[in-house]
Structure 1
């Protein structure tokens, strides 16, 4: 694992990276944002996204929550189109749920002038960053064999100076690289492969003046 001093991340503007080509996409509106913006619902959705279908009972065990509470939040996620019941599996008492195969995107600019969504948006972004942190923390604290420990990375690059258009182009190029390494849904899995999470935080930082510059400015004034 290679590491470099991290910089403080700013919340990402999308709930997930771009999906593989061909997957339908949905741009979240105010209603769907409110449907997702809850800490437990976001944790449930994350588990279904990362680990596949599950029942309320299994999810409750993993999350340390009451089964009835998890069931209520599952129905809420389904109502807003994030998950669906897996047909032909389970019973009336034990339903299996899976995420809807749609790539969800969120543009913060859509809600900038809507005071009613500021609370849900802030909660959603805070929880999203927390999920990213938890994933990294799990990786660095778990015991991994050397062949996996040596290839992971936690790094940042802080010497770039870009315009908004250049930053957008950088993010699009990085997403394209990930897409090239994403196997097709019908591809035969490699027995030596494990699920991989790629997390990207790219954001502007306001320049700070040094102490010497501050002193010179005060003297000049």
Structure 2
């Protein structure tokens, strides 16, 4: 059964293999968190040379993960940003190399989520009050059928999609992150633990 995608695009096997690279993942994270940046600025943050960051930026752009921000930069200077619309990993690919890349990306997703939760635990009490009030942790343990679980997942993703569209629109209007909008991370997982029974 194909998983419904609420993202603008699903990564194909070549994109999965290209994205599953530590430096590209880190560059993507930095662009996602801090907004548009140049190869030179990213190189300084990553203790790399700008030739290396330029190469990885071009690889990410080749697969539609990032794009050049029109109207920013002077001369040949390019500002890069995460491509609006998001992406999904899709179903496990048949190609063994792409399947290994997907495993790598999913493991990195788990790492990143843990790091984001830990960071908020450390700095959350110093955030402005309105952001503290707007934040939340949630975990529910439910007894549902597979059909009910899929329906719930799709409903929640539908809500997230509406807010993603709002965020993308804001990003188009203010590529440098102007205004009162903050960088908000939403974690949502549906994990049917126990679906695989040990015999």
In structure 1, the partner of 2:101 is 120
Q: Kindly name which structure, 1 or 2, has the bigger radius of gyration based on alpha carbons.
A: 1
Hey, what's the Cα distance between the residues in 2 that align with 1:179 and 1:29? 21
1:163 equivalent in alignment to 2:145: yes
Pairing partner for 2:83 from 83, 100, 104: 100
CA shift, 1:147, in A, is: 3.9
Contact kept in structure 2, 1:39 and 1:127, CA below 8 Å: no
Point out where structure 1 has 5 or more consecutive residues left out of the alignment. Answer: 1-12, 20-24, 210-221
Q: TM-score, normalised by structure 2?
A: 0.76
Alignment CA distance shift 1:29-1:179 (3 Å) = closer
1:46 equivalent in alignment to 2:29: yes
What is the Cα-based RMSD across aligned positions, in Å?
Answer: 3.2
CA shift, 1:51, in A, is: 3.2
In structure 1, the partner of 2:6 is 18
Point out where structure 2 has 5 or more consecutive residues left out of the alignment. Answer: none
In structure 1, the partner of 2:13 is 30
Partner deviation per Cα, 1:136-178 (whole Å, 9 max, x = no partner): 22211112244433442222112x1222222111111112233
Pairing partner for 2:117 from 129, 136, 140: 136
In structure 2, the partner of 1:22 is none
Hey, what's the Cα distance between the residues in 2 that align with 1:50 and 1:59? 12
Structure with higher helix content: 2
Aligned residues: 187
Hey, what's the Cα distance between the residues in 1 that align with 2:99 and 2:178? 44
